[in-house]
Amino acid sequence: MLKISVTSKLDGIRSWSLQAIDTCPGSIESPGVLVPACRGCYATTGNYNYPNVRAPRLANREDWQRQEWADEMVAELERDRYFRWFDSGDVYNLALAEKILDVMQRTPWCKHWLPTRMHKFPKFRMVFDAMRELDNVSVRFSADSVDGSYTPGLHGSVIGPDAATYTDALGASLCRAYEHEGKCSGCRACWNKDIELICYPAHGVKMAKVIRLMSI
C-alpha cells in the first residue's frame, strides 16, 4: 500500500520517502563515517524519530517492489502538480530508480524534484540522464560539504554555514526558508530546471555542531 508523506516545509506538497541513512549508500565517506552533509541530517532528528513518521518510510522499502507500484503511483499523482522524492532516504536500488523514472514519464502534468547522492555509482547514471531529459523533472546531485563547496556542472544543491556563504555563487538560488519559519512559502526553485544550484544555509542544532567540528 502506498505511503505518501506531507511535510509542513513544502507548503503541503507531497513526497515519497524512505528511512534516512539506511537507504543512503551515497552518504558513506568511508566505513563507519558519513559525509559531512549527512552527519547533521535533519531526517535523523526531531519528528522523524516518532514511530508514526518512521513507519511509512520503513513500509515503503518493501512496498515499491510490488508489481503494481508504478501504476498506483501514477494514479495517486493525478491531482499533484508538484512532487518531491525523498524528503528522507535515497534511491538506493537501481530497480527503484527505474520504477521512479517510469512514474515520471507517465505523469507529465506533475513537476518532480529528486535530490540524490546516488550519482556516485556509475550504474545509476543512465537512469538519471533519462530523468533529466524530461521537462517535468529536476534531478539534483547533492554536494557532500557543509562549507558551501561544490563542483560546478555536477552538483545541483549544497549546504553552507549561512546565507553569506553564497554571495558569489553564479546561477544559484538561495533557499530562504529560514526567513519564513522554515517553510518554502511559495518558492518552487528546487523544481526549476533552469536553476543550476540551490544553496541551503545550514539549520538545526545537529548541523551547527557538525560545522563547528569541521572548522576546528
Report d(CA 179, CA 174) in Å as an integer.
11
- Per-residue pLDDT tens over the stretch 164-203: 877 666 678 999 988 988 899 999 999 999 999 999 988 6
Indicate the helix (H) or strand (E) that contains 69: helix 69-76
Instruction: Write the CA distances from 88 to 84, 149, 185, integer angstroms.
Output: 10, 22, 20
- Judged against a pLDDT cut of 60, whether residue 211 lies above it is answered with yes
pLDDT digits over 35-64, tens only? 999 987 876 776 777 788 889 999 999 999
Which triple of cell numbers denotes residue 47? 519528528
Question: Is the confidence at residue 210, as pLDDT, over 60?
Answer: no
Q: Give which of 126, 154, 127 is closest to 140, Cα–Cα.
A: 154
Q: What local confidence, expressed as pLDDT, does residue 206 receive?
A: 52
Inter-residue contact 85 to 127 (CB < 8 Å): no
Which pLDDT belongs to residue 50? 73
How buried is residue 137: exposed, middle or buried, by Cβ count under 10 Å (0-12/13-18/19+)?
Answer: buried
Residue 89: is its pLDDT beyond 70? yes
Mean pLDDT score across all residues of the chain: 90
pLDDT of the residue at 204: 60
Sheet holding 82-85, edge to edge: 5-6, 14-16, 82-85, 111-116, 137-141
pLDDT value of position 163:
81
d(CA 209, CA 184): 24
Q: How far apart are CA 91 and CA 93, in angstroms?
A: 6
Q: What is the pLDDT of residue 85?
A: 98
pLDDT in tens, 21-34: 899 999 999 888 99
